[in-house]
Structure 1
């Protein structure tokens, strides 16, 4: 007779812990809507050579202003180029430039802000006054002025937008570093004589990055709109580069007769900026403890 001591018992399976970030992310449906829209646009842009057989810059006057059809889903432009093809290839530029600009601005802003907040004194005063001077101007107006002064090109437009975005991240990083440098672990590191730059890299920067990430996710959509605006004004990507703002800049002139020309690039611009804002709002709700109050 089998006794309880001889029975085989299955040890309880350990419960897998779910990281709070992923748990909160699963609860935010609008964030997943934004992720889905953005992922679809990015995937289509990466698969552009597979999805379309047209060249985004090839001119065919015989096909100009063709209405949307099975051959040209979004129609053609004033020189016969397929609009869908130009939109898909343009997504690489608009999204890539927007993300790159914010990454550059946030990295520079974190470095300057943490140094300013940690060392303080005259250095902090000089840095913050320079930042205040930049922030005194409307962001878009200053970006337009810088892009015009540097010359119309996509690279100069990126540089102009990065410059006007840096002060926001400097102020965020400085505010966090002012609080963190008074923490006990920082004071302990200082008492052991650790190099100040090592303290900044090892302690100040990692603990100052959370609000910067939140701001960066919200700013990507704004950067894409600014790139499109500069392109619309002729200060960004130059023809025949398939950039959404430049396409809208030419297409709006034909809006009444050929509505599809500016409508579809504008739709993709709206979806991209909207999806990034949804993602940014979701990440802010997750990482910012004050957002849910």
Structure 2
């Protein structure tokens, strides 16, 4: 009797919370979550951790090395690098998530509509997407950012635009398969309007692969934002953005190694953690995954 009760107590835990059960079996994903959680908590607690203003200039303390007062040293105008990294975390992570969510939402709508309606709309849409995909992502993002003007908002728009085709093609492919399902054909038979079929039957079934792609793309989006900032096409001084900090700091690498090193390390840890999380979520949500 005790064995039966124990078995019944264990099975519902796996059935009710399959996502968390599988997540606990993936140590690399848990490591990524732990690192990301620490980074996010530190950024949110920045006013409590440090009393420095991220943009306040103090020329007297310029190029101070790491110390008890300035944990990561100071930059060329005396600003505390640790403080700027903490506040830059909010900016970089927030921008990365916003870009990917916006691209995913727009791409999903365009892809489902294109795949369901088909015909000339589908052909025109896919040719436009093919044109965008024909260019390397970074090169096209640089071109759009340069054309729109060098600032953070335009960099976000540029990266979102080059990310949209990935979601359009993914959503379209899923829609083409769903369009042949019996429940969709039944909805058509009952005279339900196409936009309602797309909203109620197509989009909910496309969400899972879109979520997987979104989690995988956040880290890449953060790297692209930092790259454009490094090239002077993203965030402009004195904005505490990782790429912009590295862009200025690398010039002083030989004499003041801490300046570009710590922002680069923050970028590495955040993007690495997000990639681990994305890979883990893909393994959990993707039914074709072998794990």
Q: TM (normalized to structure 1)? A: 0.95
> Higher helix proportion, which one?
2
1:3 is aligned to: none
1:276 positional shift: 0.3
2:13 is the alignment partner of 1:17: yes
Deviation of 1:17 after TM superposition, in Å, equals 3.4
**Structure 1 partner of 2:118:** 120
2:92 equivalent to 1:87 = no
Partner of 2:273: 275
Q: Give 1:131 deviation, angstroms.
A: 0.2
How far apart, in 2, do the equivalents of 1:118 and 1:20 lie? Answer: 31
In the alignment, what sits opposite 1:4?
none
Task: Please report the RMSD computed on the Cα atoms of aligned residues, expressed in angstroms.
Answer: 1.2
Q: How many residues align?
A: 283
Counterpart in the other structure of 1:165: 163
| 1:220 and 2:218 aligned | yes
In the alignment, the residues of structure 1 paired with residue 118 and residue 13 of structure 2 have an alpha-carbon distance, to the nearest angstrom, of: 41
Aligned residue number for residue 288 of structure 2: 290
Structure 1 CA distance, aligned partners of 2:203 and 2:163? Answer: 19
Following superposition, which runs of at least 4 residues in structure 1 exceed 6 angstroms of deviation?
Answer: none
What is the aligned partner in structure 1 of residue 253 from structure 2?
255
Give 1:291 deviation, angstroms: 2.0
Match of 2:152 in 1: 154
Over residues 176-230 of structure 1, what are the superposed CA-to-partner deviations in whole Å (9 max), with x where a residue is unaligned? Answer: 0000111111111111111110010000000011111111111100000000000
Within 5 Å, which residues of 2 pair with 1:34-183? 34-183=32-181
Could you tell me which of 188, 191, 201 is aligned with 2:189? 191
Inter-partner Cα distance in structure 1 for 2:68 and 2:264? 21
Equivalent residue for 2:242, pick from 241, 244, 252: 244
For residues 100 and 226 of structure 2, what CA distance do their matches in structure 1 show? 15
Instruction: Provide the TM-score with structure 2 as the length reference.
Output: 0.95
In structure 2, distance between residues paired with 1:135 and 1:127: 12
Partners of 1:42 and 1:143 in 2: how far apart?
27
CA distance in 2 between partners of 1:198 and 1:113 (Å): 15
Distance 1:177 1:222 in 2: 26
Q: What is the CA distance between 1:145 and its match in structure 2?
A: 0.4
- Secondary structure of the residue aligned to 2:13 is coil
Question: Highest Rg: 1 or 2?
Answer: 1
Query: Could you say which residue in structure 2 is the equivalent of 1:209?
Result: 207
Give the Cα separation in 1 of the matches to 2:157 and 2:198.
27
